[in-house]
Amino acid sequence: MGESLHAKRRQGEHDRIAEACRYVSPKFTYLKIHVFRPIEVAMLKAFGLYRRGLRNFLDVRVVENDIPVANLPEALEGFSILHLSDLHIDIDPAIIGAVSRAVSGVACDVCVLTGDYMNLTVGDPTNAIALMSELRRSLPSPAYAVLGNHDTLDMVAPLERADYRILLNEHDVIRRDDASIVIAGVDDPYIYQTHSIGRAMASAPDAAVRILLSHSPVIHAEAAAAGFDAMLCGHTHGGQVCLPGGIPILNNDRASRRFISGRWTDGRMQGYTSRGTGGCGLPVRYFCPAEVTLHRLRRKGGKAA
């Protein structure tokens, strides 16, 4: 990667130059872990909500979603994509068992992960890498992944040794008979803003279907203008802590609320924002179930999810 602009903008990431326009330091992270989090846990326990939130967190559900694609070749009808996002896997290693049980017996053509493998935004990623390596044994192949705003560049090599294919503004091509799918992945577009759809699609062949993996939905307009058929993302956790009916209390993304969870469209492009497979901050969820998503490509006008 050398001294590219991409590398320079990712320099110093252990100091986390900025997060969501707020300066973040290791000292502030220490306070979050050792002061704020115990207070939050104590309050939830006092109201009898912590155990419930933890049960919800570990109740990972398989959600099915059909992606209608214009002029989809017959060879790609039903092509399936297993989608995980926002594992923050070191927040509670029990999430590995929960995910493994959820995906056991689920057949798919490809697995994708849309970022945030580590819980904290600063610190040593060694534990998260080890847990992601353990999880890999339960996931189907091939497994493509992009980085999120919690992920560091020095995670890439060990994750690839664990058989994750990290797409850093890159693409790969999957062929079925005489048809093909381009799966492109961009680096974090939310905090680092080191994404490049142009680089990701450089020298990409003409393909029947083009799918973009992005940590955040914030670049949906750019992706739609680039002619992608589908965009899969995460980052929002669907709110993680919601009001009854799944109404998010907060939106942590710059994209509007219609992109915060589930299926959406931008022009002809189909999009999907995962509610997240894990959780951030605390291992709790309320009115916002954790999910792994099984997407299937369908001819437009065909079966709906």
Q: What is the DSSP string of 241-299?
A: BEETTTEES---SSS-GGGSSEEEEETTEEEEE---SS-SSSS--BSS--EEEEEEEEE
pLDDT for res 251: 80
CB 281 within 8 Å of CB 29: no
Mean of all residue pLDDT scores within the chain: 87
Q: Does the pLDDT at position 15 exceed 50?
A: no
Q: Does the pLDDT at position 3 exceed 80?
A: no
Q: Does the pLDDT at position 301 exceed 80?
A: no
Helix and strand numbers, DSSP H then E, in the chain = 9, 14
pLDDT (mean) for 260-272: 96
pLDDT (mean) for 230-239: 96
Q: Is 47 exposed, middle or buried (0-12, 13-18, 19+ CB in 10 A)?
A: exposed
Lowest mean pLDDT among 15-24, 68-77, 177-186, 295-304: 15-24
- Centre a 10 Å sphere on the Cβ of residue 167 and count the other Cβ atoms it contains: 21
Q: Which of 282, 191, 189 is nearest to 237 (CA)?
A: 282
Residue range 97-106, pLDDT digits in tens: 999 999 999 9
pLDDT for res 9: 53
Query: What domains can you pick out in the chain, each with its CATH number?
Result: 5-299 (3.60.21.10)
Rounded Cα distance between 76 and 208, Å, is: 9
- For 32, phi and psi rounded to 5 degrees? -60, -40
pLDDT for res 253: 80
Q: SS3 sequence, 86-113?
A: CCCHHHCCHHHHHHHHHHCCCCCCEEEE
Rounded Cα distance between 11 and 266, Å, is: 33
Residue whose tokens read 């707020």? 22
Q: Which residue has the higher pLDDT, 251 or 209?
A: 209
pLDDT for res 34: 52
> Biggest alpha carbon distance in the chain?
60
CB 122 within 8 Å of CB 14: yes
Q: What does the DSSP 8-state code read for residue 238? A: G
pLDDT for res 14: 42
Q: Binning pLDDT at 50, 70 and 90, where does residue 23 land?
A: very low
Rounded Cα distance between 270 and 263, Å, is: 8
Distance, CA of 180 to chain centre: 23
Residue range 191-216, pLDDT digits in tens: 888 899 999 999 999 888 999 999 99
Q: Does the pLDDT at position 25 exceed 60?
A: no
pLDDT for res 48: 74
Q: Does the pLDDT at position 19 exceed 50?
A: no
Q: Binning pLDDT at 50, 70 and 90, where does residue 2 land?
A: very low
Alpha helices in the chain (DSSP H): 5-9, 26-31, 37-46, 50-58, 94-103, 126-136, 156-161, 197-200, 220-225
